[in-house]
A and B are shown apart, each in its own frame.
Chain A
Amino acid sequence: MAYENKDQVKIGLEIHIQLNKLNTKMFCGCRTDYQSDEPNTHTCPICLGLPGALPVVNKKAVECAIKVGLALNCKISEYTQFYRKNYYYPDLPKGFQITQYDYPIAHDGSIIIEGEDGERCVRINRAHMEEDPGRLVHEGSIEHSKYTLVDYNRSGVALLEVVTEPDLQSPKEARRFLDKLRNIIEYLDVSDVNLEGAVRVDANISIMGGQRSETKNISSHKASEKALLYEIVRQKNVLRRGKTVVQETRHFDEAREITVSLRTKEEAHDYRYFPEPDLVPFRIADLAPMIKETLPELPDAQRERFIAQYGIQEEHAKTLTAELKLATFFEEVLFKGADVMLASTWIADLLKGELNYRGKTIDSFSKTDLLEILSLLEKNKITEKSGIEIVRTLLDTQNQSVSRIVKGKGLLRIEGDEVTEMVKQAVEGNKDAVADYKNGKNEALNFIVGAVMKKTRGRADPKKVRELIIQQLHTTQAGINS
């Protein structure tokens, strides 16, 4: 079904990504691994904005930004320059933020996402660098706290801001874009996007007949979708009442799942951007080709390769490459000799499903365990049902091993004489069903299969059991006849 976008929804996103995989901050040597440390222990004259201290650009951060720019198919500027964005806030120790304005590191790119009706090309306006402000801490809630504490540990951490054109047509597309961007960032290894506050989104949205609103500082992809869905409803309501949607900045109240107005266009800050005189413009054109060569395989390319090289299903390839760790897990399992089809199904469908159900990641499952399970499956030693039981047991209990579970639960497949004997007993013990079958009732056969499976606790191959029953029935028939 074609997507109409009858409200002419236009969404543009600004995504701030903390480059928290860098060891040091954007303009000073302070370490970025402050998460579990005391407040204001990762600071120095530069990130505290002390008088006279000067910033020095972290070259690695610039390289990270170029990496992301290239991965988003952007052009890399020949020269790049930093600017000052002037405003007062207690978390901003210099009274301005060092950011970029003209001459951002990367510009004019695009990525393709799965849109409402087929592929959607989302243009990237720019990707630029800036410094993170400090963090305000309120005792209790903002409304009731008597004072505000400032922690400058975060102050000066390198941020990358990615700005899209308003090419997204629905909140769902916005979420898919964010997922994809996150995916690419993960593959590039420039940020641990799972850390608190590592990704923050500002979402611009307009509908037909109105101006755009900007919702600031949304902390998750899910919240972005919710904020945008709310904004469509709100803006439609405004228009329905015959009023106009005004340009304004809004804030997403995560608890109530609504947006509230922060300031209108008239109240907008004049940031008085001007070139940062303490940092001279510098040439990055020469860095780009070298960095391009070191770019890792990105999710799209890897997905295509998985399909072409391993012949796995497209859906499986998509699931596997939506998460770098899953894709790596898959390839490592293959490298250790697992069957491709078995591995792709088991990782992408079964294991991933069980992990999602438990809110766990692939980190909580061992490759050796999976290899053991796959090998048992391949050799027909256990049934698929037993395989799932092993996976669940491993995920839900500690200090377990595949062999111990198999032994403990008696999950090894029952074969040969043992099954034949059980079939024999079932045929003898279900005289009515046998009679029904002989009178042409084929369903009666299923009843006998069921009885055998119950007795083996699922450890026999139902197809084989069925064959054996038919065989048995025919021998007994022959016996009677003779």
Chain B
Amino acid sequence: MITWQSVPETKRFIETEGAAEAVHRCFERIKQNDFNSFITLNIEDALSVAEHASGGRLCGVPIAIKDNISTHGIQTTCASKILTGYIPPYNATVIERLEREGAVIIGKTNMDEFAMGTSTETSYYGAVENPWNGRCVPGGSSGGSAAALAGGEVPLALGSDTGGSVRCPASFCGVVGLKPTYGAVSRYGLISYANSLEQIGPMATTVADAALLFNVVAGYDKRDSTSVKKQFDTTEPLDMKGMKIGVPGEYFGEGMNSVVEKAVWNAVYSFEDLGAEYKEVSMPHTKYSLAAYYIIAMSEASSNLARFDGLRYGHHAEEGDCHTSFSKTRAEGFGDEVKRRILLGSYALSAGYHDKYYLKALKVRTLVKKDFESAFKTYDMLLAPTMPYPAFKLGEKIKDPLSLYLADVNTVPINLAGVPAVSVPCGFENKLPVGLQLIGDFFDEKTILQAAHKFENSTDFHNRRPGGE
């Protein structure tokens, strides 16, 4: 049905059949798959944009956008009831940059509510099926974007990564997902979950496509004070000879699936074959990362989500005075996981506990960052499993929040430090993809993307498709 998947293939298809036909095929595929990967489809608008597409690096190329990125005129819900019906009157910076390059927005992808989750099961709009196995989760929180890519619904997607939300679903769905350096991509228009940790990240089926998308959306934006004045060029090829790779032992902890472990080590050896040298390295503060991450993320979330009071947009419950109405709106509008994080975050910030939890977490964060800074004095890149195991079953962990939190053990240290990391397919376990995480130094997306590209060229994991297509 769909004969193309990568951006170059899509462009070739567009040359002969036209962009509108490509967009049309996307919608057909979405309908046929029925993975619930999208919350909102932008059918009419996408077809008309495609018909008028003229120029740009992504001219006519369909793209899926995670539903926490503001799109002018297209409903943006964060997969929450509380934002149902909210139509942003402005575009996120990344959307402006995509439109400038001619990309066509297909729709808004499903996700964990407010990006709080590792399985896309906390969505108000229902869970998403993993294209490799319909009874498994696609990972989260950008599960809709990853499933849409793996299911051949779109060639490109944007996700967001606060503690692994791009890399986890990329790993579970066998696609490529990059968490850029903090400050590389403007967050203007990204609906905040934990501002100091998150970045919008490109997702694709090949490293080259992810790099292209990164180059389009990255770069300084005066509307985001945390964005950095840097130029990114990830296209220049890199010689792997003599490259120094560190393999942090702490990332192969308890509860790790042995096939995952084997796949990652095989990847390390592949890099050795390409001329790189590797050494095991210790990142001693890794074990404190999860606790610090959840305290910081929940604290920021408790404040970020305070604005959803139903007064100006989204779900509104009318009752009594304004404070009663706020309470009712929030009680009805937020799901359990969101409420849990708001409560825990408010607690961690409250008088008497602030120093014990929030400030302590900030101190741990500094130490975790130092682990990375010292590692990158010696190594060009670190290799680790993205997730300790492949996709788990729908409903398997959702009733046990703590076990879900533990799944983020290898992804959150990267967000605490602010360094970039990309997940690429490196094997299969039980017919489910396994992800390799390449972690780079600050603003050195180029090294990890070029290395991932070389790895991709020397393996064929990325060529396999769900259902053997």
Instruction: List residues of A whose CB falls within 8 A of some B CB.
Output: 45, 48-57, 84, 86, 88-90, 93-96, 148, 150, 270, 272-274, 277-280
Contacts of B351 in A (CB 8 A): 270, 272
Q: Is the CB of B307 within 8 A of A94?
A: yes
Q: Is the CB of B188 within 8 A of A272?
A: no
Between A and B, 8 residue pairs with Cβ closer than 8 Å are A50-B88, A51-B70, A52-B68, A52-B190, A90-B309, A93-B311, A95-B309, A272-B354
Q: Is the CB of A274 within 8 A of B195?
A: no
Q: Is the CB of B303 within 8 A of A86?
A: yes
Q: Is the CB of A56 within 8 A of B191?
A: no
Can you name 17 extra interface pairs (CB under 8 A) apart from A52-B191, A95-B307, A95-B308? A52-B76, A52-B88, A54-B223, A55-B225, A56-B225, A86-B303, A88-B323, A93-B307, A93-B311, A93-B312, A95-B303, A270-B350, A270-B351, A272-B302, A277-B300, A278-B187, A278-B226
Q: How far is the CA of A56 from the CA of B311 in the complex (A)?
A: 24
Asked if B23 lies at the interface with its beta carbon under 8 angstroms from chain A, I say no
Task: State whether A274 and B323 are in contact (beta carbons under 8 Å apart), knowing that A56-B222, A88-B306 are contacts in the complex.
Answer: no
Contacts of A86 in B (CB 8 A): 302-303, 306, 349
Q: How far is the CA of A159 from the CA of B191 in the complex (A)?
A: 26
Asked if B467 lies at the interface with its beta carbon under 8 angstroms from chain A, I say no
Q: Is the CB of A51 within 8 A of B306?
A: no
Task: State whether A51 and B299 are in contact (beta carbons under 8 Å apart), knowing that A93-B307, A94-B307, A278-B195 are contacts in the complex.
Answer: no
Smallest CB–CB gap between A439 and chain B, Å?
Answer: 90
Task: Report the 6 A-B pairs with minimum CB-CB distance, sorted nearest first.
Answer: A95-B306, A277-B195, A277-B196, A272-B349, A51-B191, A52-B189
Smallest CB–CB gap between B192 and chain A, Å?
Answer: 7
Q: Is the CB of A57 within 8 A of B349?
A: no
Proximity bits, B82-110, A CB within 8 Å = 1, else 0: 01001011101000000000000000000
Q: How far is the CA of A282 from the CA of B302 in the complex (A)?
A: 25
Contact check: which of A45, A90, A272 meets B89 at CB < 8 Å?
Answer: A45
Contacts of A279 in B (CB 8 A): 225-226
Q: How far is the CA of A14 from the CA of B300 in the complex (A)?
A: 28
Asked if B2 lies at the interface with its beta carbon under 8 angstroms from chain A, I say no
Smallest CB–CB gap between B196 and chain A, Å?
Answer: 4
Task: State whether A90 and B311 are in contact (beta carbons under 8 Å apart), knowing that A50-B89, A52-B88, A274-B299 are contacts in the complex.
Answer: yes
Q: Is the CB of B306 within 8 A of A280?
A: no
Q: How far is the CA of A54 from the CA of B222 in the complex (A)?
A: 10
Asked if B332 lies at the interface with its beta carbon under 8 angstroms from chain A, I say no
Smallest CB–CB gap between A48 and chain B, Å?
Answer: 7
What residue in chain A is nearest B196 (Cβ atoms)?
Answer: A277
Q: Is the CB of B303 within 8 A of A274?
A: yes
Asked if B269 lies at the interface with its beta carbon under 8 angstroms from chain A, I say no
Task: State whether A96 and B189 are in contact (beta carbons under 8 Å apart), knowing that A50-B90, A270-B350, A279-B225 are contacts in the complex.
Answer: no
Q: Which of B92-140 contact A (CB under 8 A)?
A: 92
Smallest CB–CB gap between A27 and chain B, Å?
Answer: 9
Contacts of A90 in B (CB 8 A): 309, 311, 322
What residue in chain A is nearest B224 (Cβ atoms)?
Answer: A54
Contacts of B303 in A (CB 8 A): 84, 86, 95-96, 272, 274
Instruction: List residues of B whose CB falls within 8 A of some A CB.
Output: 68-70, 76, 78, 83, 86, 88-90, 92, 187-192, 194-196, 222-226, 299-300, 302-303, 305-309, 311-313, 322-323, 326, 346, 349-351, 354, 358
Most chain B beta-carbon contacts within 10 A, residue among A55, A150, A277? A277
Most chain B beta-carbon contacts within 10 A, residue among A95, A150, A270, A279? A95
Q: Is the CB of A52 within 8 A of B225?
A: no
Q: How far is the CA of A15 from the CA of B350 in the complex (A)?
A: 26
Task: State whether A280 and B312 are in contact (beta carbons under 8 Å apart), knowing that A54-B187, A86-B306, A95-B307 are contacts in the complex.
Answer: no
Q: Is the CB of B188 within 8 A of A53?
A: yes
Q: How far is the CA of A273 from the CA of B190 in the complex (A)?
A: 23
Contacts of B89 in A (CB 8 A): 45, 50
What residue in chain B is nearest A29 (Cβ atoms)?
Answer: B223
Q: How far is the CA of A88 from the CA of B354 in the complex (A)?
A: 20
Contacts of B312 in A (CB 8 A): 48-50, 93
Contacts of A56 in B (CB 8 A): 222-223, 225
Q: Is the CB of B307 within 8 A of A278?
A: no
Task: State whether A272 and B346 are in contact (beta carbons under 8 Å apart), knowing that A51-B70, A86-B306, A278-B195 are contacts in the complex.
Answer: yes
Contacts of A278 in B (CB 8 A): 187, 192, 195, 224-226
Contacts of A277 in B (CB 8 A): 194-196, 226, 300
Q: Is the CB of B309 within 8 A of A51?
A: no
Contact check: which of A49, A84, A93, A274 meets B358 at CB < 8 Å?
Answer: A274
Contacts of A51 in B (CB 8 A): 70, 76, 78, 83, 86, 88, 191-192, 307-308
Q: Is the CB of A52 within 8 A of B323?
A: no
Most chain B beta-carbon contacts within 10 A, residue among A48, A54, A57, A148? A54
Task: State whether A96 and B225 are in contact (beta carbons under 8 Å apart), knowing that A51-B86, A51-B88 are contacts in the complex.
Answer: no
What residue in chain A is nearest B192 (Cβ atoms)?
Answer: A52
Q: Is the CB of A94 within 8 A of B306?
A: yes
Q: How far is the CA of A94 from the CA of B349 in the complex (A)?
A: 17
Contact check: which of B69, B299, B313, B322 meets A50 at CB < 8 Å?
Answer: B313
Contacts of B86 in A (CB 8 A): 51
Smallest CB–CB gap between B304 and chain A, Å?
Answer: 9
Contacts of B224 in A (CB 8 A): 54, 278
Q: Is the CB of A96 within 8 A of B88?
A: no
Contacts of B349 in A (CB 8 A): 86, 272-274
Most chain B beta-carbon contacts within 10 A, residue among A50, A51, A54? A51
Smallest CB–CB gap between A390 and chain B, Å?
Answer: 58
Smallest CB–CB gap between B250 and chain A, Å?
Answer: 27
Contacts of B92 in A (CB 8 A): 52
